[in-house]
Structure 1
Amino acid sequence: MEINDTNFVAQLQKKNRRALEFVMETYGNLVYSIVRKVLQAGFGDSDVEECLNDVFLSVWNNMASFDESKGNFKSWIAAVSKYKAIDYRRKLSKRDSVEWATDRELSAELTPENILVSKETRKELLAAIRDMNDQDREIFIRRYFLAEDIENIARTFSVDRNVVDQRLSRGRKFLKEKLVAKGERL
């Protein structure tokens, strides 16, 4: 079946993938310009691309909520794009502030003096890490020893990024308490 301006909405509601391709080709520039405008300074092309994917996924998943009697598809997808981009900007701003603080704390700890940690301190650190629960330990090791991206860790464990951030924060707090209790200076 040929997808065109007259039947794409009905086909999209029937979950026809070609209708989604039609929407992406027809409205892609509009969606891009809206998302780009909302995610102006400080957001890279990969952030914009990810938000675009979220917009089209949202269109795909929420076609049942589109009502032609309330307005045309172009206005609807423009509104979806705008609000998805605003939500995405909030999410990224929150994530970046958490990540920036964490990275700043870690880089402050990576001075030449701190890199030369004694064998005893290393042993105590590893012992404290072993005392963490299995999932927290795995997340902590992947992030801080293997330098794995938080998004990848979240996908691996099938959890939201915020869950990973919380577990990392809890892990840092746990290690700090353990090491302070043993008399280590942090």
Structure 2
Amino acid sequence: MEERELLNCLTEDVSLGMELIIRQYGSAVKTICRSILSGYSKEDIEETVSDTFVGLWQSKDKIQLIEGHGLKEYLYGIARRTALNRRRSLAKKQPAQDIDTAGELVSGENVEEQIICRSEYAVLYQLIDSMKSPDREIFIYRYFYQHSIKEIADKLTLKAKTVENKLTRGRNRLKQQLIRCGVDVA
């Protein structure tokens, strides 16, 4: 279902809209929350996932679609902020064993640059989302959450060399796909 249809459905019938959005993006939101809250309890992660969808519902009127896209990115941003805030509050009570801070995305100065940047990120997220497991998780851990090769290998019970090889192949595939989509990868 297209993002515009999902957003309309969310506005017209909240329960159906949320059900469809959770069905379509729930696993990615859970992956984001689990990555940021790695080392914390399953209950904390599940609560953060729920809070993410509540946050989406509360801010549904603020979502601006550009060329029919933007809902997924907005939702993923809510998931990331919600998980980071939860991690900060939990860290005061009980520090996790491995906490890394994800880097902030940077957008351009003017409106045109921001729109181009958002659309390029949308393409990037779609390509990453389409990667097979564990390549997708390896890529997200490394480039979105800056985990070390060893940390990724430990989390996914893989050899460090396997993680390195998958990252190299994944980068090359992603670069080729971005070029095909018309994104400048200079």
Bigger share in helix: 1
Say which one has the larger Rg.
Answer: 1
Normalised TM-score (structure 1): 0.46
Q: Which has the higher contact order (CA 8 A, sep 6+)?
A: 2
Normalised TM-score (structure 2): 0.46
